Amino acid sequence: MDFPYFFTWTAQRAATPIAIRGGKGVWFETEEGLWLDFGSLSYQANLGHGSERMVRAIQRQCERLLLTLPNGIYPEKEALARALLEKAPSGFSKVFFTLGGAEAVENAVKIARLFTGRYKTISRYRSYHGATLGALALSGDYRRPPLEPLGPGAIHVLDCYVSRLPGGAQSIEGGGSADAIALTAKLEGPRSIAAIVVEPVPGQNGCLVPPPGYWDALRRIADAEGAVLIADCVLNGFGRLGTYYGFEAVGEAAPDIIVLSKALTGGYAPLGALLVHDRIARHFDDHVLYAGLTFYGHPLGVGAALEAVRIYEEEGLIQRASELAKPFASLLHAFQDRWPELVPKTRAIGLLGAFELNMKQEAFERFVKSLRAERIHLHINHGFRTVILAPPLVIHAHELEEGFARIERALLASVQ
Ligand SMILES: Cc1ncc(COP(=O)(O)O)c(C=O)c1O
Protein backbone atom coordinates (compact mmCIF):
# COMPACT_ATOMS: atom_id res chain seq x y z
CA MET A 1 0.00 0.00 0.00
CA ASP A 2 1.19 3.52 -0.78
CA PHE A 3 0.92 5.98 2.10
CA PRO A 4 0.90 9.77 1.67
CA TYR A 5 3.60 10.16 4.36
CA PHE A 6 7.08 8.80 4.97
CA PHE A 7 8.06 6.01 7.33
CA THR A 8 11.28 6.68 9.21
CA TRP A 9 14.63 4.88 9.03
CA THR A 10 13.55 2.62 6.18
CA ALA A 11 13.22 2.37 2.42
CA GLN A 12 9.52 3.07 1.98
CA ARG A 13 8.82 -0.27 0.31
CA ALA A 14 10.38 -2.11 3.26
CA ALA A 15 8.35 -0.26 5.91
CA THR A 16 6.45 -2.31 8.49
CA PRO A 17 3.50 -0.08 9.45
CA ILE A 18 1.60 -0.83 12.61
CA ALA A 19 -1.86 0.50 13.43
CA ILE A 20 -2.21 0.79 17.20
CA ARG A 21 -5.84 1.26 18.26
CA GLY A 22 -5.28 1.70 21.95
CA GLY A 23 -4.14 -0.29 24.93
CA LYS A 24 -3.95 -0.72 28.67
CA GLY A 25 -0.91 -1.18 30.89
CA VAL A 26 1.77 -3.15 29.04
CA TRP A 27 -0.63 -4.26 26.29
CA PHE A 28 -1.53 -2.48 23.08
CA GLU A 29 -4.04 -3.50 20.45
CA THR A 30 -3.82 -3.80 16.68
CA GLU A 31 -6.11 -5.64 14.27
CA GLU A 32 -3.91 -8.72 14.82
CA GLY A 33 -4.84 -8.71 18.51
CA LEU A 34 -3.11 -7.72 21.76
CA TRP A 35 0.64 -7.14 21.78
CA LEU A 36 2.86 -7.31 24.82
CA ASP A 37 4.88 -4.10 24.85
CA PHE A 38 8.43 -5.04 25.89
CA GLY A 39 9.89 -1.91 24.32
CA SER A 40 7.71 0.89 25.77
CA LEU A 41 6.94 1.72 22.11
CA SER A 42 10.01 3.84 21.23
CA TYR A 43 11.21 3.80 24.87
CA GLN A 44 8.79 6.56 25.85
CA ALA A 45 5.75 4.69 27.21
CA ASN A 46 7.17 4.16 30.73
CA LEU A 47 3.71 4.88 32.21
CA GLY A 48 2.15 2.19 30.06
CA HIS A 49 -0.78 2.46 27.69
CA GLY A 50 -4.22 3.95 28.28
CA SER A 51 -3.43 6.09 31.32
CA GLU A 52 -6.69 7.79 32.18
CA ARG A 53 -4.87 10.24 34.44
CA MET A 54 -2.73 11.38 31.51
CA VAL A 55 -5.71 11.75 29.18
CA ARG A 56 -7.66 13.77 31.74
CA ALA A 57 -4.68 16.01 32.52
CA ILE A 58 -4.15 16.75 28.82
CA GLN A 59 -7.87 17.49 28.41
CA ARG A 60 -7.71 19.90 31.36
CA GLN A 61 -4.65 21.60 29.86
CA CYS A 62 -6.41 21.96 26.50
CA GLU A 63 -9.31 23.68 28.19
CA ARG A 64 -7.14 25.94 30.33
CA LEU A 65 -4.36 27.18 28.03
CA LEU A 66 -2.79 26.12 24.75
CA LEU A 67 -1.51 29.26 23.05
CA THR A 68 1.36 31.20 24.50
CA LEU A 69 4.69 32.71 23.48
CA PRO A 70 8.19 31.31 23.95
CA ASN A 71 8.70 33.90 26.68
CA GLY A 72 5.20 33.36 28.06
CA ILE A 73 4.93 32.61 31.75
CA TYR A 74 2.19 30.42 33.17
CA PRO A 75 1.87 28.30 36.32
CA GLU A 76 2.35 24.83 34.81
CA LYS A 77 5.64 25.86 33.17
CA GLU A 78 7.04 27.03 36.48
CA ALA A 79 5.67 24.01 38.38
CA LEU A 80 7.21 21.56 35.91
CA ALA A 81 10.60 23.29 35.92
CA ARG A 82 10.63 23.23 39.72
CA ALA A 83 9.54 19.59 39.87
CA LEU A 84 12.31 18.53 37.46
CA LEU A 85 14.99 20.55 39.24
CA GLU A 86 13.91 19.16 42.59
CA LYS A 87 14.81 15.65 41.41
CA ALA A 88 18.22 16.73 40.11
CA PRO A 89 21.38 16.78 42.22
CA SER A 90 21.89 19.98 44.21
CA GLY A 91 22.92 23.07 42.27
CA PHE A 92 20.75 22.60 39.19
CA SER A 93 18.85 25.83 38.70
CA LYS A 94 17.42 26.26 35.19
CA VAL A 95 15.42 24.31 32.63
CA PHE A 96 15.38 24.81 28.86
CA PHE A 97 12.38 23.28 27.07
CA THR A 98 12.33 21.67 23.63
CA LEU A 99 9.97 19.48 21.65
CA GLY A 100 12.00 16.29 21.66
CA GLY A 101 15.27 14.58 22.43
CA ALA A 102 17.44 15.63 19.49
CA GLU A 103 16.60 19.30 19.97
CA ALA A 104 17.38 18.95 23.65
CA VAL A 105 20.79 17.45 22.89
CA GLU A 106 21.49 20.20 20.35
CA ASN A 107 20.59 22.92 22.82
CA ALA A 108 22.72 21.32 25.51
CA VAL A 109 25.69 21.43 23.12
CA LYS A 110 24.91 25.03 22.18
CA ILE A 111 24.91 25.99 25.85
CA ALA A 112 28.23 24.19 26.35
CA ARG A 113 29.72 25.96 23.31
CA LEU A 114 28.52 29.38 24.42
CA PHE A 115 29.71 28.75 27.97
CA THR A 116 33.18 27.43 27.11
CA GLY A 117 33.82 29.34 23.88
CA ARG A 118 34.96 26.02 22.34
CA TYR A 119 33.34 23.80 19.74
CA LYS A 120 34.72 20.25 20.06
CA THR A 121 32.72 17.44 21.63
CA ILE A 122 33.63 13.93 22.69
CA SER A 123 30.94 11.28 22.35
CA ARG A 124 30.95 7.53 21.76
CA TYR A 125 30.69 5.36 18.69
CA ARG A 126 27.94 3.15 19.96
CA SER A 127 25.57 5.91 20.90
CA TYR A 128 22.47 7.62 19.57
CA HIS A 129 21.66 11.24 20.35
CA GLY A 130 19.03 12.08 17.75
CA ALA A 131 18.37 12.52 14.05
CA THR A 132 18.93 16.25 13.51
CA LEU A 133 22.26 17.08 11.89
CA GLY A 134 23.91 18.29 15.10
CA ALA A 135 22.70 15.41 17.25
CA LEU A 136 23.56 12.96 14.50
CA ALA A 137 27.12 14.33 14.36
CA LEU A 138 27.48 13.24 18.02
CA SER A 139 25.81 9.88 17.44
CA GLY A 140 28.10 7.04 16.62
CA ASP A 141 25.85 4.36 15.26
CA TYR A 142 24.88 3.26 11.74
CA ARG A 143 22.56 6.22 11.26
CA ARG A 144 25.42 8.77 11.05
CA PRO A 145 27.64 7.74 8.08
CA PRO A 146 24.94 8.09 5.35
CA LEU A 147 24.51 11.76 6.30
CA GLU A 148 28.17 12.71 6.52
CA PRO A 149 29.86 15.14 6.35
CA LEU A 150 28.30 16.67 9.44
CA GLY A 151 29.41 19.62 11.57
CA PRO A 152 33.07 19.84 12.58
CA GLY A 153 34.44 19.05 16.01
CA ALA A 154 32.53 15.87 16.87
CA ILE A 155 35.16 13.41 18.10
CA HIS A 156 34.15 9.81 18.70
CA VAL A 157 35.69 7.35 21.14
CA LEU A 158 35.14 3.64 21.65
CA ASP A 159 32.65 2.44 24.25
CA CYS A 160 33.39 0.46 27.37
CA TYR A 161 30.80 -1.91 28.80
CA VAL A 162 30.32 -5.13 30.72
CA SER A 163 28.57 -8.19 29.29
CA ARG A 164 27.43 -11.27 31.17
CA LEU A 165 28.53 -14.59 29.70
CA PRO A 166 26.59 -17.86 30.17
CA GLY A 167 27.00 -19.10 33.72
CA GLY A 168 27.57 -15.60 35.08
CA ALA A 169 31.15 -14.64 34.18
CA GLN A 170 31.64 -11.06 33.04
CA SER A 171 33.65 -9.58 30.21
CA ILE A 172 34.64 -5.95 29.62
CA GLU A 173 34.08 -5.01 26.00
CA GLY A 174 33.86 -2.19 23.49
CA GLY A 175 37.58 -1.48 23.16
CA GLY A 176 37.40 1.84 25.00
CA SER A 177 38.11 3.10 28.50
CA ALA A 178 37.92 6.25 30.57
CA ASP A 179 41.72 6.52 30.23
CA ALA A 180 41.39 6.54 26.47
CA ILE A 181 38.89 9.40 26.70
CA ALA A 182 41.27 11.37 28.93
CA LEU A 183 44.06 10.82 26.42
CA THR A 184 41.85 11.75 23.46
CA ALA A 185 40.92 15.01 25.18
CA LYS A 186 44.59 15.81 25.79
CA LEU A 187 45.65 14.97 22.26
CA GLU A 188 42.93 17.23 20.84
CA GLY A 189 44.74 20.16 22.42
CA PRO A 190 44.93 21.44 25.97
CA ARG A 191 41.51 22.36 27.30
CA SER A 192 39.89 22.37 23.87
CA ILE A 193 36.81 20.25 24.53
CA ALA A 194 33.48 22.03 25.00
CA ALA A 195 31.53 18.96 26.11
CA ILE A 196 31.64 15.27 26.79
CA VAL A 197 28.23 13.96 25.72
CA VAL A 198 27.21 10.48 26.76
CA GLU A 199 24.21 8.34 27.49
CA PRO A 200 25.04 6.98 30.96
CA VAL A 201 23.99 3.59 29.52
CA PRO A 202 23.74 3.62 25.71
CA GLY A 203 20.26 2.24 25.11
CA GLN A 204 19.49 1.65 21.45
CA ASN A 205 23.01 0.37 20.90
CA GLY A 206 22.38 -2.52 23.24
CA CYS A 207 22.14 -1.52 26.91
CA LEU A 208 25.90 -0.98 27.21
CA VAL A 209 26.33 -0.82 30.99
CA PRO A 210 29.72 0.70 31.88
CA PRO A 211 32.03 -0.91 34.45
CA PRO A 212 32.09 0.53 37.99
CA GLY A 213 34.04 3.78 38.18
CA TYR A 214 33.67 4.69 34.50
CA TRP A 215 30.97 7.35 34.92
CA ASP A 216 32.75 9.04 37.82
CA ALA A 217 35.97 9.05 35.78
CA LEU A 218 34.15 11.00 33.04
CA ARG A 219 33.35 13.65 35.64
CA ARG A 220 37.04 13.93 36.58
CA ILE A 221 38.07 14.18 32.92
CA ALA A 222 35.49 16.90 32.24
CA ASP A 223 36.74 18.84 35.29
CA ALA A 224 40.38 18.49 34.28
CA GLU A 225 39.59 19.73 30.77
CA GLY A 226 37.13 22.44 31.80
CA ALA A 227 34.54 20.66 29.64
CA VAL A 228 30.80 20.40 30.27
CA LEU A 229 29.59 16.89 31.10
CA ILE A 230 26.27 16.32 29.34
CA ALA A 231 24.24 13.27 30.39
CA ASP A 232 21.85 12.32 27.61
CA CYS A 233 19.13 10.74 29.73
CA VAL A 234 16.49 10.85 26.97
CA LEU A 235 16.18 7.06 27.09
CA ASN A 236 17.78 6.38 30.50
CA GLY A 237 15.47 8.76 32.39
CA PHE A 238 12.29 8.29 34.41
CA GLY A 239 12.91 4.90 35.94
CA ARG A 240 14.39 3.08 32.95
CA LEU A 241 17.58 2.32 34.92
CA GLY A 242 15.71 2.04 38.22
CA THR A 243 16.57 5.66 39.16
CA TYR A 244 15.01 9.00 38.32
CA TYR A 245 17.32 10.38 35.64
CA GLY A 246 19.58 7.43 34.94
CA PHE A 247 23.12 8.60 35.69
CA GLU A 248 22.48 7.90 39.38
CA ALA A 249 22.47 4.20 38.48
CA VAL A 250 26.05 4.18 37.21
CA GLY A 251 28.01 6.29 39.71
CA GLU A 252 28.10 9.04 42.27
CA ALA A 253 29.02 12.03 40.14
CA ALA A 254 26.56 14.63 38.83
CA PRO A 255 26.76 15.90 35.25
CA ASP A 256 26.54 19.61 34.35
CA ILE A 257 23.57 19.23 32.02
CA ILE A 258 20.84 16.56 32.11
CA VAL A 259 18.99 15.98 28.83
CA LEU A 260 15.43 14.59 28.99
CA SER A 261 12.60 13.68 26.63
CA LYS A 262 10.67 10.50 25.72
CA ALA A 263 9.19 9.30 29.06
CA LEU A 264 9.16 12.88 30.38
CA THR A 265 5.51 12.88 29.29
CA GLY A 266 5.15 9.10 29.31
CA GLY A 267 4.96 9.58 25.54
CA TYR A 268 1.51 11.18 25.77
CA ALA A 269 2.71 14.50 24.27
CA PRO A 270 5.98 15.70 22.76
CA LEU A 271 8.42 17.49 25.04
CA GLY A 272 12.14 17.65 25.76
CA ALA A 273 13.98 19.49 28.50
CA LEU A 274 17.50 20.10 29.68
CA LEU A 275 18.40 20.86 33.24
CA VAL A 276 21.40 23.11 33.68
CA HIS A 277 23.65 23.46 36.70
CA ASP A 278 23.76 26.91 38.25
CA ARG A 279 27.47 27.43 37.52
CA ILE A 280 26.63 27.31 33.81
CA ALA A 281 23.15 28.83 34.02
CA ARG A 282 24.54 31.98 35.70
CA HIS A 283 26.75 32.67 32.70
CA PHE A 284 23.61 33.51 30.75
CA ASP A 285 22.48 36.15 33.22
CA ASP A 286 24.68 38.57 31.31
CA HIS A 287 25.41 36.71 28.08
CA VAL A 288 22.82 36.16 25.38
CA LEU A 289 21.43 32.62 25.23
CA TYR A 290 21.41 32.15 21.46
CA ALA A 291 18.71 29.49 21.49
CA GLY A 292 14.96 29.40 21.03
CA LEU A 293 11.97 27.66 19.54
CA THR A 294 8.49 28.80 18.52
CA PHE A 295 7.02 26.03 20.67
CA TYR A 296 9.38 26.59 23.62
CA GLY A 297 7.51 25.42 26.71
CA HIS A 298 4.31 24.65 24.78
CA PRO A 299 1.48 24.10 27.30
CA LEU A 300 0.38 20.79 25.76
CA GLY A 301 3.72 19.08 26.44
CA VAL A 302 4.26 20.92 29.70
CA GLY A 303 0.81 20.00 31.05
CA ALA A 304 1.38 16.37 30.09
CA ALA A 305 4.84 16.26 31.69
CA LEU A 306 3.58 17.82 34.89
CA GLU A 307 1.03 15.04 35.28
CA ALA A 308 3.59 12.39 34.27
CA VAL A 309 6.04 13.45 36.97
CA ARG A 310 3.19 13.38 39.50
CA ILE A 311 2.32 9.84 38.41
CA TYR A 312 5.95 8.65 38.68
CA GLU A 313 5.97 10.05 42.19
CA GLU A 314 2.51 9.16 43.50
CA GLU A 315 2.43 5.67 42.01
CA GLY A 316 5.98 4.91 43.13
CA LEU A 317 6.99 3.87 39.63
CA ILE A 318 10.71 4.58 39.93
CA GLN A 319 10.83 2.43 43.05
CA ARG A 320 8.83 -0.22 41.24
CA ALA A 321 11.34 -0.27 38.38
CA SER A 322 14.17 -0.61 40.84
CA GLU A 323 12.42 -3.55 42.55
CA LEU A 324 11.60 -5.27 39.27
CA ALA A 325 15.23 -5.01 38.13
CA LYS A 326 16.15 -8.22 39.93
CA PRO A 327 13.40 -10.51 38.61
CA PHE A 328 13.91 -8.96 35.16
CA ALA A 329 17.66 -9.70 35.18
CA SER A 330 17.06 -13.20 36.62
CA LEU A 331 14.67 -14.04 33.78
CA LEU A 332 17.14 -12.72 31.22
CA HIS A 333 20.02 -14.68 32.74
CA ALA A 334 18.00 -17.89 33.04
CA PHE A 335 17.02 -17.53 29.38
CA GLN A 336 20.70 -17.05 28.45
CA ASP A 337 21.77 -20.05 30.51
CA ARG A 338 19.21 -22.27 28.78
CA TRP A 339 20.60 -21.19 25.37
CA PRO A 340 24.31 -20.55 26.00
CA GLU A 341 25.34 -21.14 22.38
CA LEU A 342 22.67 -18.92 20.88
CA VAL A 343 22.73 -16.20 23.55
CA PRO A 344 26.39 -15.64 24.39
CA LYS A 345 26.00 -12.18 25.93
CA THR A 346 23.42 -10.33 27.99
CA ARG A 347 23.32 -7.01 29.84
CA ALA A 348 20.73 -5.56 32.21
CA ILE A 349 20.21 -2.59 34.50
CA GLY A 350 16.89 -1.42 35.95
CA LEU A 351 14.22 -2.28 33.39
CA LEU A 352 16.60 -2.05 30.43
CA GLY A 353 18.15 -5.22 29.10
CA ALA A 354 19.70 -6.72 26.00
CA PHE A 355 20.83 -10.04 24.63
CA GLU A 356 23.12 -10.72 21.71
CA LEU A 357 22.35 -13.56 19.37
CA ASN A 358 24.85 -15.89 17.81
CA MET A 359 23.06 -17.19 14.74
CA LYS A 360 23.26 -17.02 10.97
CA GLN A 361 21.41 -14.24 9.15
CA GLU A 362 18.63 -16.56 7.95
CA ALA A 363 17.87 -17.86 11.43
CA PHE A 364 18.03 -14.30 12.78
CA GLU A 365 15.46 -13.19 10.21
CA ARG A 366 13.23 -16.12 11.18
CA PHE A 367 13.58 -15.08 14.82
CA VAL A 368 12.51 -11.51 14.03
CA LYS A 369 9.46 -12.86 12.15
CA SER A 370 8.60 -15.23 14.99
CA LEU A 371 8.68 -12.36 17.49
CA ARG A 372 6.04 -10.67 15.39
CA ALA A 373 3.98 -13.84 15.31
CA GLU A 374 4.26 -13.99 19.12
CA ARG A 375 3.00 -10.39 19.22
CA ILE A 376 5.74 -9.07 21.43
CA HIS A 377 7.07 -5.60 20.71
CA LEU A 378 10.77 -5.02 21.41
CA HIS A 379 13.76 -3.37 19.76
CA ILE A 380 16.21 -5.06 17.48
CA ASN A 381 19.63 -3.75 16.61
CA HIS A 382 20.19 -5.65 13.37
CA GLY A 383 23.82 -4.59 12.96
CA PHE A 384 24.84 -6.18 16.26
CA ARG A 385 22.12 -8.90 16.23
CA THR A 386 21.09 -7.57 19.60
CA VAL A 387 17.60 -7.52 21.09
CA ILE A 388 16.83 -4.69 23.49
CA LEU A 389 14.15 -4.95 26.15
CA ALA A 390 12.56 -1.97 27.88
CA PRO A 391 9.09 -2.75 29.26
CA PRO A 392 6.84 -0.05 30.75
CA LEU A 393 7.44 0.47 34.47
CA VAL A 394 3.86 -0.59 35.21
CA ILE A 395 4.64 -4.17 34.19
CA HIS A 396 3.80 -7.00 36.62
CA ALA A 397 6.13 -9.90 37.43
CA HIS A 398 3.88 -12.41 35.60
CA GLU A 399 3.94 -10.19 32.50
CA LEU A 400 7.74 -10.18 32.60
CA GLU A 401 7.58 -13.99 32.62
CA GLU A 402 5.08 -13.93 29.76
CA GLY A 403 7.45 -11.75 27.74
CA PHE A 404 10.39 -14.10 28.16
CA ALA A 405 8.16 -17.08 27.34
CA ARG A 406 7.21 -15.41 24.05
CA ILE A 407 10.85 -14.59 23.26
CA GLU A 408 11.85 -18.18 23.97
CA ARG A 409 9.09 -19.59 21.76
CA ALA A 410 10.25 -17.27 18.97
CA LEU A 411 13.81 -18.50 19.43
CA LEU A 412 12.71 -22.14 19.31
CA ALA A 413 10.71 -21.49 16.15
CA SER A 414 13.71 -19.86 14.46
CA VAL A 415 16.20 -22.68 15.06
CA GLN A 416 13.95 -25.60 14.18
C1 LIG B 1 19.60 8.62 24.07
C2 LIG B 1 18.78 9.36 23.06
N3 LIG B 1 19.02 10.66 22.86
C4 LIG B 1 18.31 11.38 21.98
C5 LIG B 1 17.30 10.81 21.25
C6 LIG B 1 16.54 11.63 20.25
O7 LIG B 1 15.25 11.86 20.68
P8 LIG B 1 14.10 12.29 19.65
O9 LIG B 1 13.84 11.11 18.78
O10 LIG B 1 12.96 12.68 20.52
O11 LIG B 1 14.63 13.46 18.88
C12 LIG B 1 17.01 9.45 21.43
C13 LIG B 1 15.91 8.85 20.64
O14 LIG B 1 15.73 7.72 20.48
C15 LIG B 1 17.78 8.70 22.36
O16 LIG B 1 17.56 7.39 22.54
Task: Write the pLDDT tens digit of every residue in 55-71.
Answer: 999 999 999 999 999 99
Is it the case that residue 22 has pLDDT exceeding 90?
yes
- The Cα–Cα gap between 360 and 290 comes to 50
DSSP helix/strand/coil, 102: helix
Give yes or no for residue 208 CB within 6 A of ligand 1: no
Give yes or no for residue 101 CB within 6 A of ligand 1: yes
- Pairing label, strands 161-164, 33-37: unpaired
- The Cα–Cα gap between 96 and 110 comes to 12
* Ligand 1 atom closest to 261 (CA): 10
Mean pLDDT of the chain, nearest integer = 97
In the reported structure, the alpha carbon of residue 105 is separated from the centroid of ligand 1 by a whole-number distance in angstroms of 8
What is residue 414's predicted lDDT score, i.e. its pLDDT? 94
Substitution candidate for ligand 1 out of 41, 204, 230, 235 with most atoms within 8 A of CB? 235
- Identity of the residue numbered 145: P
Give yes or no for residue 204 CB within 6 A of ligand 1: yes
What is residue 416's predicted lDDT score, i.e. its pLDDT? 79
- Report the residue count for the chain: 416
User: Where along the chain do its domains lie?
Assistant: 12-50+316-415, 53-314
Q: Is the domain covering 12-50+316-415 a CATH 3.30.1130.10 domain?
A: no
Q: Are 50 and 25 in contact (CB under 8 A)?
A: yes
The pLDDT tens digits of the residues spanning 349-402 come to: 999 999 999 999 999 999 999 999 999 999 999 999 999 999 999 999 999 999
Of the pLDDT bands very low, low, confident and very high (cuts 50, 70, 90), residue 124 is: very high
Q: Is the domain covering 53-314 a CATH 3.40.50.720 domain?
A: no
Give yes or no for residue 130 CB within 6 A of ligand 1: yes
